[in-house]
Copies of this chain bind each other. A is one copy, B any other.
Amino acid sequence: MVYTVKQLADLAGVSARTLHYYDEIGLLKPAAHGENGYRYYDDAAVLRLQQILFFRELDFSLNEIKDLIDRPGFDVTSALEAHKVALQRRVERLKRLIHTVDNTLLHLKGEKEMSKRQLFEAFSEEQQAEYEKEALQMYDPAVVKTSNKKWKACTAAEKQRIGDEGNAIYTDILLAMPQGASSSEAQAGVERWRRHIEYFWVPNEDQLLGLANGYNDDPRFKANFDKIDPHLAEFMREAVKVYIKSKKKYA
C-alpha cells in the first residue's frame, strides 16, 4: 500500500502538518518523493508512525523517540524505567499543588464566611488570624475547632482590639530590630507575640518556631509582614530561635 500525506494523516489520526514536521526533523521520512514533490508513504512508514505515536502518548519527546526506535540495541527498558520515574515525580508534584490549592480554597472560604457574617470588615489582622489557624492545621485539626470557636465568640469590638494588639506587637518588634534578635526588647516582643498567639492556640516551642518559619516561607504570611518591613519576618524567625533556646535552657 502507498499513502499520500492526508491518507496517512487520517489513518493515524494526526494532522498533515505533523507529518510534514516529522519529515522535517527526520523522524518519519516518506518512502518516496514523486517527481511532483509529493510525499508517498508505505506500510513500513505506517508501522513506524504507530510506534512514534505510542511513545508520544507516553510523553516522550520526539528526540527521545528517535533514539528509542532508531538506535539499534538502544536500552529501551532502562529508558522506560527512567521515564517512569520522571512521570512519578510529576505526579508527586501535581499532588502537592492540588493540596496547596485546597488549602488556599479553605482559607478563602473561611474569609468569606467571616466577612459575610459580620459587619466587621476583613482587616489584615483578621486575615493573619486565618493564616495562623491554617498553619496550625498542620499540627492538630482538633485544636482548630477550639480556635475557631474562640474567635467566633468575640464581639466585633474585641476583634478590633485583638487586631490592634497584633499590630502593636509587630511594630514593637520592628522597633527592636536595631538592637538585634537577642536583645531584651526583641525577646520581650516575642513573649508578647506568644501570648497574643495563645489567644487562638497554645503552641509548644517547636510549633512556635514552625509558625515563625511559616511567616518567611508562606508567601501570604510573608506578604503581610513585608507590608510592615521587608526584614521583619526574617528578624522574627531569628528572635524566636533565640527565645526558644533560652526557654529550653532554663526548662
Contacts and interface: CB of A to CB of B under 8 A. Distances in A.
Given A77-B109, A81-B105, A43 B227 contact: yes
A84 B105 contact: yes
Contacts of A97: 57-59, 87
Nearest to A88: B98
A98 B88 CA distance: 7
Contact of A58 (B1, B50, B101): B101
A15 B103 CA distance: 28
Given A43-B226, A77-B109, A219 B90 contact: no
A95 interface: yes
B100 A58 contact: yes
Given A84-B101, A101-B80, A101-B83, A53 B219 contact: yes
Contact of A80 (B43, B46, B84, B105): B105
Contacts of A222: 50
Nearest to A52: B219
Q: Contact size class for A?
A: 35 or more
A175 interface: no
Main secondary structure of the interface of A (DSSP, over half): helix
Contacts of A94: 87, 90-91, 94
Contacts of A88: 98
A184 interface: no
A80 B108 contact: yes
Contacts of A95: 91
Given A47-B223, A84-B102, 12 more contacts: A11-B230, A46-B230, A50-B219, A51-B223, A54-B219, A59-B97, A77-B112, A80-B101, A81-B105, A87-B101, A90-B94, A91-B98
26 contacts: A1-B230, A11-B230, A43-B227, A46-B226, A47-B226, A50-B219, A50-B222, A53-B219, A54-B219, A54-B220, A58-B97, A76-B108, A77-B105, A77-B112, A80-B101, A80-B104, A81-B105, A84-B98, A84-B102, A84-B105, A87-B97, A87-B101, A88-B98, A90-B94, A91-B91, A91-B98
